[in-house]
């Protein structure tokens, strides 16, 4: 058996193992249950995908094709300096509007 992929998490490992199974390469996931031992902390790199030694080359080709077909991770190569996530921008806008409305209501009640 040869390790052909080290996954970030167990879902990714099982997804790639299933992809390899679909193209006729028997694959096994090792280490996926170790993540539960870490509790709530993210444990990366514990899940690995293994195939038979004679399937290693083809498995690496299938994995490379799969990775090439995936959209780019926005965190890779993109500058996020000064950029707030959209959810954070919405929260800040709601907070400001709430403060303005609250201040106006307090002023009206104090008159």
Question: For 16-51, how does the pLDDT look when each residue is reduced to its tens digit (9 = 90+)?
Answer: 999 999 999 999 999 877 655 555 555 566 789 999
Domain that holds residue 24: 2-69
- Cα pseudo-dihedral 14, 15, 16, 19, rounded to 10: 120
CATH number assigned to the domain comprising residue 33: 3.30.70
Confirm whether 74 is domain-assigned.
no
Give the span between the Cα atoms of 19 and 27, in whole angstroms: 9
Q: Which residue(s) pair with 29 in the sheet?
A: 49
Angle between helices 56-69 and 10-22 (to 10 degrees): 120
Q: What is the pLDDT of residues 58-99, one digit of tens each?
A: 999 999 999 899 887 665 555 455 555 555 567 777 778 888
Let me know if residue 83 belongs to a domain. no
Which residues are within 8 A (CB) of 46 and not within 5 positions of it... i.e. 6 or more apart?
Answer: 10, 31, 32, 34, 35
Higher pLDDT, residue 39 or 57? 57
**What's the pLDDT at 70?**
82
96 occurs within a structural domain: no
Domain tally for the chain?
1
């Amino acid at each position: 058996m040869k390790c052909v992929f080290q996954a970030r998490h167990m879902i990714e490992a099982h997804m790639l193992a299933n992809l390899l199974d679909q193209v006729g390469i028997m694959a096994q996931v090792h280490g996926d249950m170790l993540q539960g031992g870490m509790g709530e902390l993210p444990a990366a790199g514990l899940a690995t995908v293994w195939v038979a030694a004679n399937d290693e080359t083809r498995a690496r080709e299938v994995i490379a094709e799969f990775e090439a077909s995936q959209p780019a991770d926005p965190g890779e190569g993109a500058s996020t300096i000064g950029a707030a996530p959209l959810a954070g921008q919405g929260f800040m806008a709601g907070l400001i509007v709430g403060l303005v409305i609250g201040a106006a209501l307090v002023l009206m009640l104090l008159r």
